[in-house]
Chains A and B, each alone.
Chain A
Amino acid sequence: MMDFENQQIITELLPRMETVEYEPLKKNFLWMSLTQNAIFLVVLFAIGMIFTLTMFLSTFFMSFLKMIGIWLVLVIGLVLLTWFGFRVKGYAVRDRDITYKTGLIFRSVISVPFNRVQHCEIRKGPFEELFDIAKLKVYTAGGAASDLSIPGLDPARAESLKEFILKKTEEEDEEE
């Protein structure tokens, strides 16, 4: 039963993570992120306006231009980050583990084997509801930092993924 523990592992023969194809998130996640950014930017704009109107009334026009300038830089930066950040995000499901990669500037790839999954859940906030997407959270015993969460899944896909993972986890438990 435990024979394989003594087998020599030739690293070339290991299942390679690099060869997997990452599945992208649902496009609606991008629209949702952009909407959230837009709301944030509008609020920021309003605060900036109030600030400019009250503090720099004497030099209103110049201050207004400066503010608009800073604001536009923020808008472009955030949109670019969100747009390209979305294209980097992706997940891959293999027979025995799940991997999620994210981060445009600071990259991160995290892999969780199914036989270490504690439980998983689907989350839907008001925004997710609006854009018809769901977030899948996979919990391990390694603490919050080691948990894996995939945003922007199609709700049906999230549900089937969750069931797949739970089925895998149960199978592993039975084998043990």
Chain B
Amino acid sequence: MKKSDTNPYPQPVRQAPAAIFVLVFERFWSLFVQFLPLLIIFFLAGRAQGELVFLVFALASAVISAFLSILHYFRFHFHIKSDSLVITRGLLNRTHSSVPFERIQVVNFEASVIHRMLNVVKVVVETAGSGSSESEISALKKSDAIALRDYLLAMRDSAVEESGEDTELETEESTSGYIGEKIFSLSLLDLIKLGVTNNHLRTAWAIVAIAFYWWSQYWVYLDDPGDIPYFPMLENVFDSLVASFVIMAILGLLAASAVLSTGIVIIRYFGLRVLKVRGGLKVSAGLFAQREYSARNNKLQIFYWSTNPLRQLLGLYSVTMAQASSEDGMGNQSIGIPGCSIDQVSMLRNQFFKSDSLEPNIAYKPDKRMIGRYFIFFGLIPVTLVLLIIYFFISQWVFWVFLALPFILLAIVVYYRKLELRINHEVLYLKKGIIEDTWKLIYLHKVQSVELTQTPYMQQRDLVNFRIYTAAGSILLPYIPLKDAVILRDFILYKVESSRKGWI
């Protein structure tokens, strides 16, 4: 703690010299991305007349941008004053930006491949409040960056304490320093498990669509045998060829999906570590670009955890922490942890929610009539449309489409049975899902607004859709009785209006 009491940057200084490389590299990369379409056209078109001109132009822009990047490095200074972080930058138009300590929300580190090769990090200072919400320092030595962050956060805390805000948050924990203790990490094996057990349903839908396309082509041919020469003895061969091709395609796509999602999971979450720090959690992960995210207690809006049957077998749950990004709430920042055990879920949850806040509660469920209405909107109407389209444009043999109806009904019934909202004096808790189960947890005092909506059908039957907005997404409980909804609304409004806790 004592270390972070002395100002590490009393005088304006430049970034680490490595920043030159980082800046030049970033410039080149963005140039490359901009020129990429042109490059592709060049390669596709073969030798074009403008080749030399293009080459000269590209080289010139590369040289100029490298030169500008170097100038930018020398014209970028930062230092810490008694009350703020000051950054001065710009070639001709000098920009002085100062970030008052008390407005600092989090200090994040990011490291791309080039950062890691040079052993530096990019420091991103996020602030609350509308307007420009971020200040960046492109490259600092890791140790310097940590010193900077610790000092900034220590100053932020004392500034905030002086002004008397946020008291509830800051006294909660007194872990020494900001490095924090490790809560858990994921190994490569965990990541592979996660990739394989990913939700392949979307891929399955794509497979079904493709299979259907092949199949319908085949039937069209049979309807119009004039198109292909008819070889009776070849028919069986043709038949089995198509069948085996479809099966192979399905298997191939499933395998491709598994490999692809494993790859994505590994790239995104390689070396994932979750640290407990003062006032929240810190999550770092990434194979090529290691990123560090902060989940602060006060910024968290919705805490989700979910699992699918495959993952449940392995005892794996994924957790998402949806945060408001800044005080104007524009956009949201979600931090995902793709896999953890149920114990780890409750450990993470306990970081944000007191364990007794999940205690006895009242449950609300949608009305049974929801099943029938959803069946009309998501079953009968779409199926009829698909049927008509197929009938008029593809094939007259369409009645198999009705086979979808029992599955849709089953899905709706499962959805209805799982959907449930629980509420007590502090939190609101929603469970939903068809195949993948999701639980969402929200502090009542973080609700932004409440909306009741009714269709004509619902007006006649005194049912309403109940929607709650937070700064990081909304929650819907459909088809609840009007009298329950009215009490729920009154209660939630009362909790919000009588709460002295900030929502951010």
Q: Which residues of A contact B (CB under 8 A)?
A: 1-2, 4-6, 9, 11, 14-18, 96-97, 103, 105-116, 118, 140-143, 145-146, 148, 175-176
CB contact list, B424-477 vs A, under 8 A: 425-426, 447-456, 459, 469-471, 473-474
Are B451 and A141 in contact (CB-based, < 8 A)?
A: no
- B448 shortest CB reach to chain A, Å: 3
* Interface 9-mer from B30-38, B185-193, B321-329: B321-329
Alpha-carbon distance A113/B449, docked complex (angstroms)? 7
Sample of 16 more A-B contacts, CB < 8 Å, known A142-B329, A145-B474: A11-B490, A15-B493, A17-B493, A106-B456, A108-B452, A109-B452, A111-B449, A111-B451, A112-B448, A116-B447, A118-B329, A140-B469, A142-B470, A143-B473, A143-B474, A176-B165
Can you list 11 A-B contacts (CB < 8 A)?
A9-B491, A11-B487, A14-B491, A16-B486, A106-B453, A107-B452, A108-B451, A109-B453, A111-B450, A140-B329, A143-B474
Q: Determine the chain A residues whose CB is within 8 A of the CB of B448 once the complex forms.
A: 112, 116, 140-142, 146
State whether the Cβ of B240 lies closer than 8 Å to any Cβ in chain A: no
Residues of B within 8 A of A96 (CB): 493, 497
- Report the bound CA distance from A115 to B496 in whole Å: 8
B491 CB contacts on chain A under 8 angstroms: 9, 11, 14
Given the contacts A9-B425, A107-B459, A143 and B486 also touching, CB distance less than 8 Å: no
Contact of A146 among B474, B490, B494 (CB under 8 A): B474
A66 to chain B, nearest CB (A): 26
Select one of B449, B455, B490, B500 contacting A116, CB under 8 A: B449
In Å, the complex CA distance between A111 and B502 comes to: 19
| Interface membership of B304, Cβ < 8 A | no
A4 touches B498 (CB 8 A): yes
Q: Is the CB of B497 within 8 A of A97?
A: yes
Decide if the interface of chain B is mainly helix, strand, loop or mixed.
mixed
- CB < 8 Å: which of A6, A14, A18, A143 contacts B494? A14
Query: Which residues on B sit within 8 Å (CB–CB) of A175?
Result: 500
3 closest A-B pairs (Cβ-Cβ)?
Answer: A141-B329, A142-B469, A142-B448
Smallest distance from the beta carbon of B446 to chain A beta carbons, Å?
9
A173 CB, min distance to chain B CBs, angstroms? 9
Contact B469–A145 (Cβ < 8 Å): yes
Check A142 against B502 for contact (C-beta < 8 Å).
no
Least CB separation from A141: chain B residue: B329
Residues on A with C-beta less than 8 A from B474 are 142-143, 145-146
- Whether B293 is near chain A, meaning CB under 8 Å from some CB there, is no
In the bound assembly, the distance between CA atoms of A142 and B496 in angstroms comes to 14
Contacts of A115 in B (CB 8 A): 496-497, 499
On whether the beta carbons of B497 and A111 are closer than 8 Å, the reply is no
Residue of A nearest to B329 (CB): A141
Complex Cα spacing A5 to B451, Å: 24
Given contacts A14-B487, A141-B329, A143-B329, A111 and B493 within 8 Å (CB-CB): yes
| Pairwise interchain contact A97-B503, C-beta atoms closer than 8 A | no
User: Taking CB as reference atom, which chain A residue is nearest B448?
Assistant: A142
Given A2-B500, A4-B498, A111-B489, verify A146-B451 contact (CB < 8 Å): yes
The smallest C-beta distance from A59 to any residue of chain B, in angstroms, reads 28
* Alpha-carbon gap, A111 to B467, bound state (A): 11
Q: Which residues of A contact B501 (CB under 8 A)?
A: 176
Give the CA-CA distance A109 to B451 in the complex, in Å. Answer: 6
Complex CA gap A15/B504 in Å reads: 26
Most interface-central of B456, B459, B494, B504 (chain A CB within 10 A)? B494
Which residue of the partner chain B has the closest CB to A172? B497
Please, how many angstroms separate the alpha-carbon atoms of A31 and B448 in the complex?
33
A113 to B407, CA, bound (A): 42
Min CB distance A13 to B, Å, is 10
In Å, the complex CA distance between A6 and B498 comes to 12
Closest to A112 in B: B449
Given known pairs A9-B494, A112-B448, A142-B448, the reply for A17 and B470 (CB within 8 Å) is no
* Chain B residues near A15 (CB-CB < 8 A): 490, 493-494
Nearest CB on B from A109, distance (A): 5
Which single member of B451, B459, B496 contacts A110 (CB below 8 Å)? B451
Within 8 A of A (CB), among B338-384: none
**Complex CA distance for A2 and B447, rounded to whole angstroms:** 19
Is the pair B452, A116 in contact by a Cβ cutoff of 8 Å?
no
Q: Which residues of B contact A9 (CB under 8 A)?
A: 425, 491, 494
Q: Report B-chain residues with C-beta under 8 Å of the C-beta of A176.
A: 165, 500-502
Contacting residues, chain A, for B494 (C-beta < 8 A): 9, 14-15
Shortest distance between the CB of A52 and any CB in chain B (Å): 29
Bound-state CA distance A11–B494 (Å) is 10
Given A15-B494, A111-B489, A116-B503; A105-B451 close (CB under 8 Å)? no
B residues 153-184 in Cβ contact with A at 8 Å: 165
Chain A residues with CB below 8 A from B452, complex form:
107-110
User: A114 contacts which chain B residues (CB < 8 A)?
Assistant: 497
Q: Which residues of A contact B451 (CB under 8 A)?
A: 108-111, 146
Asked whether A110 lies within 8 Å of B449 as measured between CB atoms, the reply is yes
